[in-house]
Amino acid sequence: MGEVLIKGGRVVTAVDDYVADILVKDGQIEAIARHLPNSDAEVHNASGLMVLPGGVDVHTHMEFPLGPAETCDTFETGTRSAAFGGTTTIIDFALQKQGETPKQALDRRLALAEPQACVDYGFHIILTEVTPESLSELPDLINQDGVSSFKMFMAYPGVLMVDDAGIFRTMRKVGTHGGMVNLHAENGGVIQVLIEEALAQGNTSPKYHALTRPSIMEGEASHRAIRLAELAEIPVYLVHLSAKEALDAVVEARDRGISAFAETCPHYLFLTIEEYDRPDFDGAKYVMTPPLRDHTCQHALWRGLKFDDLQIVSTDHCPFCFSERPFGIHRSKQLGQGDFSQIPNGAPGVEFRVPLLYDGGVGGGKISLNRFVQLTSTAPAKMFGLFPQKGAIAVGSDADLVLFDPQKPHILSASTHHSNVDYSLFEGRQVTGKVEKVFLRGELVVDGDRWLGKPGNGRYQKRSASGRVI
């Protein structure tokens, strides 16, 4: 690949803000200076634009099976959508199916992603069976295969849920090798009782998804997860944190010096439980787990982001079409017509994370510009063992760069996004701040509305330790 020169952009990182030229060679940043000569490089004028490190989204689900359903983005369409939204690295999930070992799950997902991925990618492994055989594979997965984080579910009994002993055993095993356990923290047993009660009373509409998953049960499980990690003496990471009660548990632990970390997602920051009051079956579009919460929770989440009690904004991009037409019933919310508990849990969002957080966070005066970069790129890269190759604009880092126009308004819509999914949680919302160009290891993959990337050009990222230093 020839050299690329990005001229006169406002370089914004988690700590810096200055105007400079950036020279890219062999996919990495070669030099940063006030003025660099043009030489033979391909030149991109970035004056008036910000240059951001490529976004790192550590929570996506491409072509992901969830019960009888499967998400409707392939690795190709989902990673292309990510790129258009300024995200150049994702960490997706390898789900250990029944009878499968964690390594087999990883190999299966690697084979699926490798020919398709348009941005760089890694995997967390979802452990569903904590057997001696599974546990014995974990050290090599961390040290040789570059998977240093393992998601476990405290919800979905009989499907994905693992008991406390299994979680604790896993924590003990991975802790000494630089691994971290990521928890889906909700009390699955209690929630199951509430679901059964609601259905028995004939309460079948999407709103009952939210009413049967109360925030105190997220708080309870979060507290339990942190205490288990404390005993195991390893860091812990709570995924898709939505409730004030869960954040309170994180704050309490962090105040005691415990390495408790958490992410939240744009839908919890910008939407509330009122969305479930939409007529007909429309509320199903907002059925994700945990559900949308109230304004008190939303306010607490913004406060958490500002004061670093929450470290990361990820999307939990888990797209199911609303209509069954494009990809069939198994990729559709229609599976849950007449029974909210059968609505596939998950919502799309990989393309809108960066513009939404810029518009609502920085534009809305809730977080600083540097903090915005920290939350969307640098902290996720550090948390999950990708830094400084990712999440940085520095000599020697990968030239994953986003040219971002902070003044440009645009409208978020399913009619213009690049995901396979047929709706957007943010349909019609105007935001200011638009991704103009995206470079993946120095290669221009997005140029305005034009797609220049190629499936298979995304590279698997072997990660170092998770949760150690951020």
Q: Give the binding site for ligand URP (CB under 6 A).
A: 61, 184, 240, 288-289, 316, 318, 345-346
β partners of residue 260: 236
Taking the complex as a whole, how short is the minimal distance between the CB of residue 78 and ligand URP, in angstroms?
13
Taking the complex as a whole, how short is the minimal distance between the CB of residue 451 and Zn ion, in angstroms?
26
Nearer CB in complex with ligand URP: 284/369: 284
The Cα 392–Cα 29 span in angstroms is: 10
User: For the chain, give me the number of helices (H) and strands (E)?
Assistant: 13, 19
The runs of H, that is alpha helices, within 11-146 are 75-84, 102-113, 132-143
Binding of Zn ion by 184 (CB under 5 A) = yes
Nearer CB in complex with ligand URP: 145/316: 316
- Which of 135, 137, 167, 140 lies closest to 152, judged by CA? 167
β partners of residue 264: 313
Q: Which does 264 bind (CB under 5 to 8 A by kind): Zn ion, ligand URP, none?
A: none
The Cα 424–Cα 214 span in angstroms is: 25
Nearer CB in complex with ligand URP: 36/221: 221
Q: Which does 288 bind (CB under 5 to 8 A by kind): ligand URP, Zn ion, none?
A: ligand URP
The Cα 214–Cα 220 span in angstroms is: 10
The Cα 11–Cα 32 span in angstroms is: 10
Which of these ranges, 82-90, 177-185, 291-299, 398-406, lies near Zn ion under the rule CB under 5 A? 177-185
Taking the complex as a whole, how short is the minimal distance between the CB of residue 62 and Zn ion, in angstroms?
11
Binding of Zn ion by 463 (CB under 5 A) = no
Taking the complex as a whole, how short is the minimal distance between the CB of residue 267 and Zn ion, in angstroms?
12
The Cα 289–Cα 333 span in angstroms is: 14
> Tokens standing for 247?
């954040």
CA dihedral 462, 466, 468, 470 (to 10 degrees): 90
**What are the C-alpha distances in Å from 461 to residues 71, 163, 436, 464?**
23, 30, 25, 9
Taking the complex as a whole, how short is the minimal distance between the CB of residue 184 and Zn ion, in angstroms?
3
Taking the complex as a whole, how short is the minimal distance between the CB of residue 276 and ligand URP, in angstroms?
14
Q: Which does 46 bind (CB under 5 to 8 A by kind): ligand URP, Zn ion, none?
A: none
Nearer CB in complex with Zn ion: 16/129: 129
Chain centroid offset of residue 23 CA: 29
Q: Which does 424 bind (CB under 5 to 8 A by kind): ligand URP, Zn ion, none?
A: none
Nearer CB in complex with ligand URP: 240/371: 240
Q: Which does 21 bind (CB under 5 to 8 A by kind): ligand URP, Zn ion, none?
A: none
Taking the complex as a whole, how short is the minimal distance between the CB of residue 329 and Zn ion, in angstroms?
21
Nearer CB in complex with ligand URP: 261/358: 261
Taking the complex as a whole, how short is the minimal distance between the CB of residue 109 and ligand URP, in angstroms?
15
Count of residues that interact with Zn ion, criterion CB under 5 A = 2
Name the amino acid, one letter, at 61: H
Q: Which does 57 bind (CB under 5 to 8 A by kind): Zn ion, ligand URP, none?
A: none
Taking the complex as a whole, how short is the minimal distance between the CB of residue 56 and ligand URP, in angstroms?
17
CB 316 within 8 A of CB 247: no
- Residue sitting closest to Zn ion (CB): 184
Strand runs (DSSP E) across 177-324, as ranges?
Answer: 180-184, 236-238, 260-264, 312-313
Q: Which does 317 bind (CB under 5 to 8 A by kind): ligand URP, Zn ion, none?
A: none
The Cα 87–Cα 351 span in angstroms is: 8
The Cα 363–Cα 365 span in angstroms is: 5
Chain centroid offset of residue 121 CA: 12
Q: Which does 10 bind (CB under 5 to 8 A by kind): Zn ion, ligand URP, none?
A: none
CA dihedral 164, 167, 169, 170 (to 10 degrees): 180
Subset of 305-334 contacting Zn ion (CB under 5 A): 316
- Give me the count of residues in the chain: 470
Nearer CB in complex with ligand URP: 172/278: 278
Subset of 10-39 contacting Zn ion (CB under 5 A): none
Nearer CB in complex with ligand URP: 94/403: 94
Q: Which does 390 bind (CB under 5 to 8 A by kind): Zn ion, ligand URP, none?
A: none
The Cα 235–Cα 149 span in angstroms is: 11
Neighbours of 155 (CB within 10 A): 24
Taking the complex as a whole, how short is the minimal distance between the CB of residue 48 and Zn ion, in angstroms?
37
Q: Which does 345 bind (CB under 5 to 8 A by kind): ligand URP, Zn ion, none?
A: ligand URP
Nearer CB in complex with ligand URP: 106/318: 318
The Cα 230–Cα 226 span in angstroms is: 6
Nearer CB in complex with ligand URP: 235/349: 349
CB 146 within 8 A of CB 121: no
Nearer CB in complex with ligand URP: 186/309: 186
**CA-based radius of gyration for the chain:** 21
Taking the complex as a whole, how short is the minimal distance between the CB of residue 239 and Zn ion, in angstroms?
5
CB 411 within 8 A of CB 52: no
Phi and psi, residue 162, nearest 5°: -120, 140
Q: Which does 79 bind (CB under 5 to 8 A by kind): ligand URP, Zn ion, none?
A: none
Which residues of this protein are in contact with Zn ion, per CB under 5 A? Answer: 184, 316
